Amino acid sequence: MKNSRQSNDALLTQNLIDLLHMNINPWHRDWTTFSGKGPHRNIATDHEYSGSNPAILELWTALRGYSHPLWIGAGQGKKHKWIPRKGSKGCAIMLPVQISYRKRDQEGNELKDSEGGPIMGSFATFKYSRRTLFNVQDMHGVTEEAEAKLQEKIRQECESFTPLEPTARLERAERVLGAWSVPTTWSGNKAFYSPSDDRITMPGQDQFLTSEGMYSTWAHEQIHSTGHKSRLNREMGGGFNSVTYAREELVAELGAFLVCNRLQISSDVLNHAAYLKNWIEVLKESPDALRKCLVAASKAANLLCNVEEENPM
């Protein structure tokens, strides 16, 4: 019997493969889709989901056609007499976990500090939450009164969110992306990151149809640059049709979406069908391939935006 992590990995990965076979990229999204309703958040607590979870919830949204970025756990809903509709399925999100360990030398001996105590190290990993989330469109009240309260709560949540004005969003994107340490050269007609030079090249700004298109492309290339050996040290070699190349492109796609989601701008880096086909090959490698890409993308987005991972529950 598969454990919960393997089951969630397999489900999440298969969901994405199904979308890609339909030539649907769930993270190629116009911000205006939810601009009047806000980010993915919990309707009971108002908590905004962070880390890789916006990408997971966006995938679930694309798969099931939701129009509200509002979620709730079954237990949370039960307190309000709101329950999942028959046949609906919950989405498992990921929680950051800090693992501590005793450091050892090359011979396996424990390292000690000046007082004889163990020298500790730590690293971050992720686990799926035991409690799945349901979109509010899959919830209903067990009584007419409870149903009315649910619909009123949804209305209030959607109307209470006030997005930044477009100019303010673009100014923030310029401020955040412009602060990244890797230099950018604006010339030519191609966008790419060169690991050997540790430099980003972007087309001239006048070649982009929209400012958001320029910033989302810039975020994509900056995510690539986080993989440099002096930063997160991801495997980045290989030609266009290689699995390594496709995996790195998927990480960059996910990372750019997470960055754009924070900046409240559209994530519209154009990927032709060959990219989607290559991503399918990456995902077929193992059921946990998507989770590993999500974790890598979350770390890259956090580094780029200079934020710490939060507990999303």
Tell me the pLDDT tens digit for each residue of 193-246. Answer: 999 999 999 999 999 989 999 999 999 999 999 999 999 999 987 887 788 999
Average pLDDT of every residue of the chain: 90
The residue type at 37: K
Give the CA count within 13 Å in the CB-facing half-sphere of 143: 6
The residue type at 237: G
Instruction: Strands of the chain (E only): list them.
Output: 41-42, 70-73, 82-84, 94-102, 120-128, 133-135, 139-141, 184-186, 192-194, 199-202
pLDDT tens-digit profile of 25-42? 999 877 665 556 889 999
Would you state the structure tokens that stand for residue 288, as one six-digit string? 């946990």
The pTM for the full model equals 0.86
